[in-house]
Structure 1
Amino acid sequence: MTKIEHRSRWAAIGAAVAVTLGAGGGFGLANAVQDSGERSTYVPISPCRLIDTRASNQVGPRSSALGPNETYTIEARGQQGQCTAADLPDDANALVLNVTALGATSQTFLTFWPAGDQPEAASLNPSPGAPPIPNAVTTQLDDDGNFRVFNERGSVNVVIDVSGYYADHNHDDRYPLKTDVYTKSEVYTRAESDARYYDRATVNGLIAIGALESGTISVPAQEFRHRVSGAGWQMQGGAIYVPSGEPNAVLEAPVLLPEGTNLGQLRASILDDVSGKDLHVELVRYADDGTRTILALAASVATGGFAFDEWISKSLIDEQVDNDAYTYVIEASPRLTTNSAVTTWPDFSMQLLKVEIQYAD
């Protein structure tokens, strides 16, 4: 039998606050005193790749860069790219994306929008020779479940990951009606209700963590290179590893983080089928004088069987991004389990698929 709860202490937190998307695309907070009715509610998902236009890494229907003054329409409902129908349901009306621009041949800008007149706003500003430029983009979908991306000049490849969607939801259904009548056995007592919820300190911690999940930078294996000049590395099924016989291996990828944001957690998708060695993935900050500071570590342990597992840094990253003062790099290296010394890469038995960094505006 389902019981109805007294809304005491922190019980109302989840119901009273919900992220909403207005008709014009703006964001706000829906709370218990606002008018009821249909409003869009955010639904987070495990990030999936919708589009990669690079010919060597194609995901989705396109395998060529966007050209000058080109508008490209992208289908965004149902099974698309590496996203399943559950990731992109039929009732989705907007998507939260992580977009990376690569290989721009000219200074340009990219604009994302659902349909109609193109807005006079830039979502990304790629330039030639720049490192991969990621950005969090939220775009509504048209009636057919599509959105559009415009490239102004030159050619540029785009990689688009989906981290969540918005769908209409009637907020009236969160509460019982005044006319509803319940027996005593159908209603939780105050003590029973309080026992089912976190105390204040735990709630505050969860709110802080939740706030840090407002955006994700995804760095795929294709962006990593061997630190030693001339040393070899190998791609296999979208993952990277260092073949046997190469020197002690550190794979690295520079990452441009959104300026002024607060960093959350480091996540790495790793295959580790080797005992005695772990794969350490570190987010490292370099100062102009060469000072190296490790901000976060996600390390694997041998799990047995060739399956990728996600490893997460054990603590939140206490860092506000300052790209003027520092350079940020992701470094991956095999370490001895006994003393964490960098060692030789155990060939394809240890592979790195992707790394993600959470941040909050």
Structure 2
Amino acid sequence: MTTDLKLGIAVGYWGASADDATETVRAAEALGYESVWTAEAYGSDAFTPLTWYGARTERIGLGTGIVQLSARTPVATAMHALTLDHLSGGRLRLGIGVSGPQVVEGWYGQPFPRPLARTREYLDIMRQVWRREAPATSEGPHYPLPYPGGTRLGKPLKSITRPLRPDIPVYLGAEGPKNVALAAEIADGWTPLFYHPEISPGVYADALAAAPDGFDIACTVTVLPHEDTAEALRTAKIPLAFYIGGMGARDENFHLNVFVRMGFAEAAYKVQELFLAGRREEAVDAVPDELADGLSLVGPLPRIAERLQAWRDSPVTTLLVAGVRDEPGLRALREMVLG
């Protein structure tokens, strides 16, 4: 149970030249929001917008939520991280994740199997780079250093740049219980994509049982203040239908599996069926109100304030607000959460 929630904002993917959230990030910083988080999928990257916002702010933490392992080698991600951490004065929180086979194999052209083992190896190499105690090496099998083939002239190296911090906080973006348990074992935090504060604690209780003190669960929550709760709920259902129906293969969709674990199997498969049949509006309508309402904070401000109690009663420690970009809305949420 969390008595004092920390507050951040999730600005998501950078999508177009006009999608500059600088004023939102500045307003959040002035209001005492602790962090801002950017995302990537198969378009823009997460580091560049985060650097852009970091250069225009002074105190707010900078989180990647998340960068995809298969987009970069472990040392490349470690270099990105130590550079941004230096430039921002030690503000980086590095969120990483494996994504899914459609993106990994279809977009990055990399193999997807054994995601947990790859994550463990990846994080170990990054921490070697940051700690700079010896040249970075790995026996593999996923990221062998030095590379065992090629010219055979490769040799272990240490970063020529000394990291500002040898212990940059790492968060895992994880959905399955085994991956969440891995986050609790080797990372500093977990960034769930879909979390129901009244259902998910039971789903992940065993996975998080060994989480150390200070383990941060930083959860993105769509917040849609609106006088018409039903209308706000329907808006909240749109991305849920997309993730359930379109962000994964028909026979292997990790996002859909999250909703199955929550107890919404029948509805989730119905949404997927409608979405893949091209009946997108019907797919949105098929998302249960209870599910959309549990994952989001929607409706009039007094209703949102009331429903915040469920998040305070959950293991979530940091609430990352998505969907609110204006200063009055950010201020209202700040007063609800932080007082």
Same-fold call, TM cutoff 0.5: no
TM-score, normalization by structure 1: 0.26
Which structure exhibits the higher relative contact order, with contacts defined as CA atoms closer than 8 Å and separated by 6 or more residues? 2
Larger Rg: 1
TM-score, normalization by structure 2: 0.27
